[in-house]
Amino acid sequence: MLSSRPAPNRHVGLVGWARENLFSTWLNSILTFLSVFVIGFVVIEVVPWIIQSSWTATSLNECRAAIIEAYGEGTHGACWAVIRERYLQLLYGFYPSDAYWRPNLALVLMLIAIAPILYPVLPRKMLLFSAVYPLLGIWLLWGGSLWTMISILLGFAIGYILMAASSRAFGTLTGLITATLGIIIYWIFAAVPLSELLQSIFPRLWLEPVESARFGGFMLSTTIGVTGIVSSLPLGILLALGRKSDLLIVKAICIGFIEFIRGVPLITLLFVASTLLNIFLPPGTNFDLILRVIIMVTLFSAAYLAEVVRGGLASLPRGQFEAADALGLDYWKSMRLVVLPQALKVSIPGIVSSFIALFKDTTLVSIIGLLDPLGLTNSIRADADWNGIIWELYVFVALIFFVFCFAMSRYSMYLERKLKTSHD
C-alpha cells in the first residue's frame, strides 16, 4: 500500500488558500482585485493625512504652518491638536472639571447595574442595586441632596406596602390603583418637605448641583440615551401589554400611540420638545430643554420598545399563558410571574438594538441647539482659532460612536446566539 502523499503545492499553503478563496472563478478574481484596489486607495489617501499631523498647535493656522514646515509644501495633514485641546469638552461638555469623577462614577455604576440584567449568571441580589441605580445616577449627575432621592425612593416603598396591603383586601387591580395614587400623593405633598427636613438634619449627603445646561458632548448623548431607554421601559411594557390585551379601548389607545410615534421622525418630536412642550403643560411650568428632550425621547423610545416587547410576547408559546391561567393566577400575577420574565429575556437583544439606535439618534439634538458632540463641533468651529476645521472633529466623534455602538451590537449578537441555542 502506498503511503499518503502531501497534497500538491497548488492546493496547500498560501497559494492554495488564495486559489481556493480569492481566485476560484473569474468573477471572484475581479472582485478580489476590486477590493484590493479600494483598500489600497483608502490607505494611500487617508493614512498620510492621519500620520502627517500636528498634535501641539493652538490654532488652525499655526497647525497648518507646522505641518508644512515638518512635511513640506503642499502637505495636508490632520490637526489633531484641536482634539487634544477640546477632547474633554467633547466628552463632558461644560461639566465642571473638578466634578468629572461624577459622570465617570455614574458610568461605572451603570455598568455594574446592568451587569446582572445582561449576564444571568451573576447573583440575583445585584438586581436590587439595578433598581436603585437610576436615582443614584441622577443624583451623581445633577447633584443636590441624596435625601431627595431617598425620599423619592421611599415613595416606591410606600407604594409597595400599599399594594401589598390593599391587594390582599381588594384584589390586584384595586391595589395597583391605590398604590399609584398613594405614591403620587406622597410625592406631591410629602416628598419635598421630608427631604428638606432630612437634609437639614444630615447635611453631608450633598453634591454641588450642576444644571443641565452644562451637560454636553458624549455625556449628554449617553445621559439622554440611557435615561430615555430606562424610563421608557416600563411605559413600553405597558404599551405592549395594552396592544395585546382584549380590552378594545385600551388596545386602540395603545395602537394609536405606538403608530403615531413610529410614524413621525424623531426630529419632529424634538421640535415639539424645543418649541411646544411648555405650551402643553400647565401655565408656568418650565422644564429646561434637556429635560424636555428626555421626556420626548422617552415617549419616542417607548413606542419602539413596545414593539420589541410585543415581539418577545409573541415568541412565547401559548401554553405559557394557558398554564398561568390554569394555575388560577390573575392577569397581573400571570404577567409578572410567568409571561414577562420570559418575554423580557427574549427581548433583551432587541432592547439593546433599540438603545444603539437611540444612542445614535441623540445626535439629532444638535439640530435644536443642544451641544452634543456634533453640536459642539459647530461651537468649536465658531472659536476664531479653529474656524474652518472639519474632518478632525467629525472623525473623532464618528470614532467614539463607532466604538460604543460596535461593542454593543457585538454584545447583542452574542446574546442572540445564546438565546437561540438555549431555546432549541
Partner 1 sequence: MRLKSLIAATTVVGLSAGMSVAATLDDVKAKGFIQCGVNTGLVGFAAPDADGKWDGFDVDYCRALAAAIFGDPDAVKFTPTTGKTRFTALASGEIDVLARNTTWTFSRDVDLKFTFVGINYYDGQGFMTHESLGINSATELDGATVCIQTGTTTELNLADYFRANGMSYEPVPIETNAEAREQFFAEACDVYTTDRSGLAATRATAEDPNALVVLPEIISKEPLGPLVRHGDDQWADIARWVLNALIIAEEKGITQANAKSMMGSTNDPEVARLLGTEGEYGAMIGLSADWALHAIEARGNYGEIFDRHIGPDTAIALQRGENALYTEGGLLYAPPFR
Partner 2 sequence: MRVQEGEKAPPVFRLSMLLNDKRYRSMTIQTVALIGFMLLIAWLISNTLQNLNALGKDVNFSFLNQPSSYDINQRLIEYDSRSSHLRASIVGLLNTLLVAVLGCTLATIVGVVIGVLRLSKNWVVARLMTIYVEVFRNVPVLLWIVFFMAILIGTLPKPRDFRGEDATASMMFGDSVALTNRGIYVPEPLFSNSLGNLSVFGWFGISIDLVLLLLVLFAGIFAARRVRRRAMRVQSETGKLPRTWPLRIALIVVPPLVVLYYLGFHLGYPVLKGFNFSGGVYMRNSLIALWLALSFYTAAFIAEIVRAGISAVSKGQTEAAFSLGIRPGLTMSLVILPQALRIIIPPLISQFLNLTKNSSLAIAVGYMDVTGTLGGITLNQTGRELETILLLMLCYLFISLSVSAVLNWYNGRVKLKER
156 neighbors 162 (Cβ within 8 angstroms): no
Q: Is 272 in the site for partner 2 (CB under 8 A)?
A: yes
Parallel, antiparallel, or unpaired for β 144-145 and 206-207? Answer: antiparallel
Answer for which of 127, 161, 388, 414 binds partner 1 (CB under 8 A) is 388
Number of residues that make up the chain:
424
Q: Is 363 in the site for partner 1 (CB under 8 A)?
A: no
258 neighbors 243 (Cβ within 8 angstroms): yes
Q: What's the CA gap between 76 and 66, in Å, rounded?
A: 11
Strand partners for 93: 215
Handedness of CA 362, 367, 370, 374 (dihedral sign): positive
* Residue 50: contacted member of partner 2, partner 1, none (CB under 5 to 8 Å, by partner type): none
* Residue 387: contacted member of partner 1, partner 2, none (CB under 5 to 8 Å, by partner type): partner 1
Minimum CB distance to partner 1 smaller for 123 or for 209: 209
Answer for which of 163, 289, 324, 358 binds partner 1 (CB under 8 A) is 289
Q: Is 378 in the site for partner 1 (CB under 8 A)?
A: yes
Smallest distance from partner 1 to CB 264, Å: 17
- Quote the strand ranges of 101-246, DSSP E: 144-145, 206-207
Report how far apart, in Å, the C-alpha atoms of 378 and of each of 50, 219, 224, 354, 374 are.
Answer: 22, 17, 20, 28, 7
Q: What's the CA gap between 64 and 87, in Å, rounded?
A: 20
Q: Which amino acid is at 387?
A: N
Minimum CB distance to partner 1 smaller for 61 or for 363: 61
Q: Is 145 helix (H, G, I), strand (E, B) or coil?
A: strand
Q: Please report, as ranges, the residues that interact with partner 2 according to CB under 8 A.
A: 21-22, 24, 28, 31-32, 35-36, 38-39, 170-171, 173-174, 246-250, 253, 259-260, 262-268, 271-272, 275-276, 278-283, 356, 360-361, 363-364, 366-367, 374, 390-391, 394, 397-398, 401-402, 405-406, 409
Q: Please report, as ranges, the residues that interact with partner 1 according to CB under 8 A.
A: 61, 85-86, 89, 93-94, 97, 135, 138, 142-145, 148, 152, 184, 187-188, 191-192, 195-196, 209, 211, 213-214, 216, 271, 274-276, 278-279, 281-289, 291, 294-295, 367-371, 375, 378-379, 381-384, 387-388, 390
